[in-house]
Amino acid sequence: MQRTLHASISRFEKVIADAVADLVQEIRDHDVANLIAFVRMERLKTLECLIDADCELLFKPRTMQFGQRAEVRADWQTPPSIELAMEFHFGGVDVFYRLSLGSDVEGPVKIDYMRFEKDGHCTTAEEACLDRALQAARRP
């Protein structure tokens, strides 16, 4: 049971990672030192403005957004990485996930919570529903 659940989550994480690949590039266009400083100094409103602006370049307004949490990992043994809490809400799908940015990040997306409305928005398999919602939320 646990192995099946983990495999399912991994598939959902890949669907999201593929959908946000362009967003990751937009975020990486910012100076990494500034992003780290905003996180360390708890300037989350500033970070929110930057990340949400990047989201709205690629996705419809308020469908993909910064989740008001961020963490930096920076020590002498490993390259720095930034983890951003993110939210996606569209077409009966709600996903709360962490987006990891760094040179040695294995899987950039880790899902914390996911919900599918069963009122007609998601009538097919949930993985297909997630993919459809992510594609429909993109700007033309």
Residues 93-109: pLDDT tens digits?
999 999 999 887 677 99
pTM exceeds 0.85, yes or no: yes
Task: Give the chain's domain count.
Answer: 1
Spell out where the chain has E strands. 64-73, 81-90, 93-102, 109-116
Task: Please report, rounded to a whole number, the percentage of residues in the chain having pLDDT higher than 70.
Answer: 90
Distance CA 56, CA 132 (A): 18
Residues 6-17: pLDDT tens digits?
568 899 999 999
Among candidate residues 23, 46, 6, 5, the one with its CA nearest the CA of residue 108? 23
Distance CA 62, CA 87 (A): 9
- What pLDDT does 8 receive? 82
Find the domain containing 77 and state its range.
2-136
